[in-house]
C-alpha cells in the first residue's frame, strides 16, 4: 500500500476516469476502509477543473443523506493533487450488478424496480432541495454498499425479494462533479451526462433545471427493465419522464416516485355491494376513499386518493386511516422494540398556509418510510415538509422494520387552524 499523508494508506484502484482515479484505502485513525478519489496530476493545474473537483466534495457534504455517498475529508497530496475521502461502496456499481444478473438470464421484477427507484428518488430529492441538479445520473454512478440492516424489507417489498439491491445493501448516488448550482451559473461549457442517460437539453444550448434529472431517472429505470414485460402504467410513467419537453415531465422527484409506486401498486380488493369495505367501522371519510378506488385501475388509485385528501381537509385524519388500510399498514405496530424505536418530532398545531417541518427520530433501523396526509411516500428522508391547505386534522405515519422482523410505527396528528 502507498501512504497518503499520515492517515490514509492507499490500496488498489477501484475506478478510473479521465479526470480522477479512485482507490480503496485504509483510514488508519478510524481503522476503517474508505475510498479516496484523487484528481489527475495534469488536471490539478487547471483552476477550473480543480475547483469543480473540490466543489463535488462540498456539494456531497452540503446535500447529505443515506443514499448519497458520504464525504469524510478533503485535502491534497504532496504533488498538490486534491483528493476526496469518501464512503466505500464495497459492492460495486449498479451497472456491474445488472450486467452480472443478465448474464444469468435475470429479468427485473416489480421489487427490483422499487428497490432502485425509491432510494434514487430519495437521493435526487435531497440534491434538488439543496438547489442543485445532478446532471450525470447513470448506472455507473449508482453504487452499492453493504449494510447490516434489511432495507428492502423495511420498505415493504419482502414478498418478492429484489436481486438488484439485496436486503443487506444500500443504493448510493455518487459523482456530483458535473452538478449545476441553480443559485448561480455553473460556468461549464462542456455537455454533461453519460450517453444514453443524458437529457436532450444537456446536449444543446438551453436551460437545465431539476427536470433534467427526472429524464435521467426515467432512462435509468427504462434501462433496468430492458425488455421485461412490465405494466403499461409503469411504461406510461417512464414515457412521461422521458418527454422531449421538460414541461411535460414530472415536476419533481417526489411526484415521480409516487407515480412509479402507484403504477406498481396491487389492485384494490373487491368491495361488496354498497361500496363499504369489509370490516369498516363506519368512518365516512375512510368509506368515501374505499368507494373512490373501487373498480379503479392501479394507475389512478393514488391520484383519486390524493384528490380526496385535498377535497376533505377537515377529514384528513379519517382518510389517512382509510389509506393506511389499503396500503396494508398495521396500526397496532409499536413505536419501539428492543434497541429500535421511531418517533416524529414537529408541531402539534399549524395554521392554513403555514409550512411545517417534521423530523424522523430513528434508532436501530437502517431504512424507513413516511406516509404523508397527501398520500405520498418518502423513503429514508430525515425530514418531511408539509403546507396546510385547509383547516382540520392531518396525520403523518412513519414505519420501519427491525433486523429481527418486528414492524414499528409512529404516528403524529396535527391540528390545522384557519
Task: Show me where the domains of the chain are located.
Answer: 2-86, 94-264, 336-417
Residue 199 pLDDT: 92
Q: Do 329 and 371 form a contact (C-beta atoms < 8 A)?
A: yes
Residue 135 pLDDT: 87
Residue identified by cell 399498514 is 329
Residue 349 pLDDT: 85
Residue 317 pLDDT: 31
Percent of the chain scoring above 90 in pLDDT: 39
Say whether 132 sits in a helix, a strand or coil.
strand
Q: Which CATH architecture has domain 94-264?
A: Orthogonal Bundle (1.10)
Indicate the pTM of the whole model: 0.66
Print burial letters for 44-62: b (CB count within 10 Å at least 16), e (below 16). Answer: beeeebbebbbbbbebbeb
Separation in Å, CA 325 to CA 18, 262, 264, 290, 322: 52, 16, 17, 9, 5
Residue 366 pLDDT: 82
| Rg (alpha carbons) of the chain, rounded to whole number | 23
So what CATH class is 336-417?
mainly beta
Distance (Å, whole) CA 351 – CA 71: 38
Residue 60 pLDDT: 85
Distance (Å, whole) CA 394 – CA 241: 31
Residue 374 pLDDT: 77
Residue 310 pLDDT: 31
Instruction: Tell me which residues of the chain have a pLDDT lower than 50.
Output: 149-159, 186-190, 271-331
Q: Give φ, ψ of 343 to 5 degrees.
A: -155, 155
Which among 23, 22, 33, 26 has a CA at the least distance from the CA of 9?
26
Task: Classify the phi-psi angles of 361: left when phi > 0, otherwise alpha if psi is within -120 to 50, otherwise beta.
Answer: beta
Print burial letters for 279-291: b (CB count within 10 Å at least 16), e (below 16). Answer: eeeebebbbbbbb
Q: Please tell us whether the domain made up of 2-86 is placed in CATH 1.20.200.10.
A: no
Residues contacting 66, CB < 8 A, separation 6+: 119, 122, 170, 367, 380
Residue 332 pLDDT: 58
Amino acid at each position: 500500500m502507498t501512504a497518503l499523508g499520515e492517515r490514509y494508506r492507499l490500496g488498489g484502484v477501484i475506478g478510473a476516469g479521465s479526470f480522477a482515479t479512485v482507490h480503496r484505502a485504509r483510514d488508519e485513525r478510524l481503522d476503517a476502509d474508505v475510498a479516496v478519489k484523487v484528481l489527475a496530476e495534469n488536471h490539478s493545474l487547471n483552476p477550473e477543473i480543480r475547483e469543480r473537483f473540490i466543489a463535488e466534495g462540498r456539494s456531497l457534504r452540503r446535500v447529505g443523506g443515506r443514499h448519497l455517498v458520504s464525504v469524510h475529508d478533503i485535502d491534497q497530496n504532496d504533488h498538490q493533487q486534491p483528493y476526496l475521502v469518501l464512503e466505500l461502496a464495497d459492492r460495486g456499481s449498479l451497472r456491474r450488478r445488472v450486467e452480472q444478473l443478465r448474464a444469468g438470464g435475470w429479468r427485473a421484477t416489480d421489487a427490483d424496480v422499487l428497490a432502485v427507484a425509491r432510494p434514487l428518488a430519495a437521493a435526487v430529492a435531497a440534491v434538488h432541495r439543496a438547489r442543485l441538479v445532478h446532471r450525470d445520473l447513470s448506472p455507473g454512478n449508482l453504487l452499492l454498499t453493504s449494510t447490516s440492516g434489511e432495507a428492502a424489507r423495511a420498505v415493504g417489498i419482502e414478498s418478492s425479494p429484489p436481486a438488484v439491491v439485496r436486503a443487506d445493501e444500500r443504493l448510493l448516488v455518487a459523482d456530483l462533479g458535473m452538478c449545476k448550482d441553480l443559485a448561480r451559473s455553473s460556468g461549464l461549457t462542456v455537455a454533461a451526462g453519460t450517453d444514453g442517460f443524458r437529457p436532450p437539453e444537456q446536449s444543446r444550448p438551453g436551460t437545465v433545471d431539476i427536470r433534467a434529472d427526472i429524464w435521467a431517472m426515467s432512462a435509468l429505470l427504462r434501462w433496468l427493465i430492458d425488455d421485461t414485460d412490465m405494466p403499461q402504467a409503469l411504461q406510461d410513467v417512464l414515457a412521461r419522464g422521458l418527454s422531449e419537453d421538460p414541461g411535460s415531465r414530472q415536476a419533481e422527484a417526489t411526484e415521480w416516485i409516487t407515480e412509479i409506486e402507484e403504477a406498481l401498486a396491487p389492485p384494490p380488493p373487491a368491495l361488496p355491494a354498497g361500496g363499504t369495505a369489509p370490516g369498516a367501522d363506519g368512518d365516512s371519510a375512510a368509506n368515501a376513499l374505499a368507494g373512490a378506488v373501487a373498480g379503479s385501475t392501479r394507475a389512478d388509485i393514488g391520484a383519486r386518493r390524493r384528490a380526496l385528501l385535498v377535497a376533505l381537509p377537515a377529514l384528513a385524519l379519517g382518510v389517512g386511516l382509510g389509506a393506511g388500510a389499503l396500503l396494508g399498514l398495521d396500526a397496532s405496530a409499536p413505536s419501539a422494540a428492543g434497541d429500535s424505536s421511531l418517533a416524529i418530532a414537529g408541531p402539534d398545531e399549524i395554521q392554513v398556509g403555514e409550512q411545517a417541518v417534521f423530523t424522523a427520530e430513528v434508532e436501530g433501523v437502517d431504512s424507513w418510510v413516511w406516509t404523508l396526509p397527501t398520500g405520498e411516500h418518502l423513503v429514508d428522508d430525515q425530514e418531511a415538509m408539509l403546507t396546510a391547505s385547509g383547516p382540520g386534522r392531518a396525520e403523518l405515519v412513519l414505519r420501519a422494520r427491525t433486523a429481527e422482523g418486528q414492524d414499528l410505527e409512529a404516528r403524529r396528528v396535527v391540528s390545522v387552524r384557519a
